[in-house]
Amino acid sequence: METVFSAKAWATVWQYRATFLNGLLNTLQSAVVGLIIAMVLGFALGLLATSARRGLRAVARVYVEFFQNTPLILQVCFLYYALAYSGIKISVVMVGFISLGLYHGAYVAEVVRAGITAIPFGQFDAARSQGFDYLDTMRYIILPQTVKIILPPMVNQMVALIKNTSCLYIIGGADLIATTYNFVTGASTGGAYGPAYLVGGLMFFAVCYPLSMMAGRWEQKLKQRDAAQASAQHEEKDGGKEAET
């Protein structure tokens, strides 16, 4: 605990501040690439999960249940060592990208599925009556309406993904947690545990907290907008009834 108040320890952290910034950049890079993979997988699986075909829904369900109910750190280790022992040469960074994408793809899929099922089913029937097939219905009618529903939880998934990059240190990644660990155990920098981990935590907080606040405010605004629209529709109905009488 005394290292937290050690001027020497803080001076050492400040001297190597570029190391922490590089770790943060690597973390953000992993998060961005992992998020792209997760979004592609998530939307594809979300569409499968709402398909009329039972087999496609089953594929999506199995994927989601498997990845949501096994720890990310276990998936990272399995993918890393399975590829290594099978003779497939792939960088640690790429393993991190794929692991994060596969894991969070399951959660994005659930967000997309929930957004699609929140749309009144009558709109599917209306689209079918106009000659739209399933993909066109999703592309032109359903998905544009789900955007406002899924964006807040998508931002929350982004926050969770950024924090989960910390699992990559187990395979020797260059993320912020791994950088911090290497710093506090280094021959010339070891011992500054308190300041180093505190700085690492503050860096995560500086990235994740604004995103969390944005998601919360976004969701609140959407709820207020929906309430205002519902109130306006109710007033129109009441006005119509009064006009009839």
**Residue 99, pLDDT above cutoff 90:** yes
* 221 vs 77, higher pLDDT: 77
Average pLDDT over residues 192-217: 89
Confidence tier at 235 by pLDDT (50, 70, 90): low
Which pair of tokens denotes residue 231? 């109130």
Confidence of residue 25 (pLDDT cuts 50, 70, 90): very high
> Mean pLDDT throughout 146-160?
87
Q: CA 94 → CA 69, 76, 98, 168, 174, distances in Å?
A: 23, 11, 6, 11, 12
pTM: 0.83
| Model confidence band, residue 230 (pLDDT cutoffs 50, 70, 90) | low
Instruction: Please tell me the distance from the alpha carbon of residue 31 to that of residue 14, in angstroms, as a whole number.
Output: 25
Q: If you average pLDDT over residues 94-121, what whole number do you get?
A: 91
| pLDDT at residue number 245 | 56
Give the pLDDT of residue 91.
85
pLDDT at 43 over 70: yes
Res 244 pLDDT > 60: no
Task: Examine the pLDDT at 75 and tell me if it is beyond 60.
Answer: yes
- Report how far residue 91's alpha carbon sits from residue 100's, in angstroms, rounded to the nearest whole number: 14
Q: Crossing angle of helices 7-15/17-49, nearest 10°? A: 70
The residue-averaged pLDDT of 207-233 equals 78
Q: Is residue 243's pLDDT more than 80?
A: no
Average the pLDDT over each of 36-40, 78-82, 140-144 and give the range with the smallest value: 140-144
Q: What integer is the mean pLDDT of 214-230?
A: 74
DSSP codes joined into one string, 151-200? HHHHHHHHHHHHHHGGGGGGGT--SHHHHHHHHHTSTTTTT-HHHHHHHH
Higher pLDDT, 2 or 174: 174
Q: How confident is the model at residue 207 (pLDDT cuts 50, 70, 90)?
A: very high
pLDDT at 126: 82
Closest CA to 225 of 135, 131, 149: 149
pLDDT band for position 32 (cuts 50, 70, 90): very high
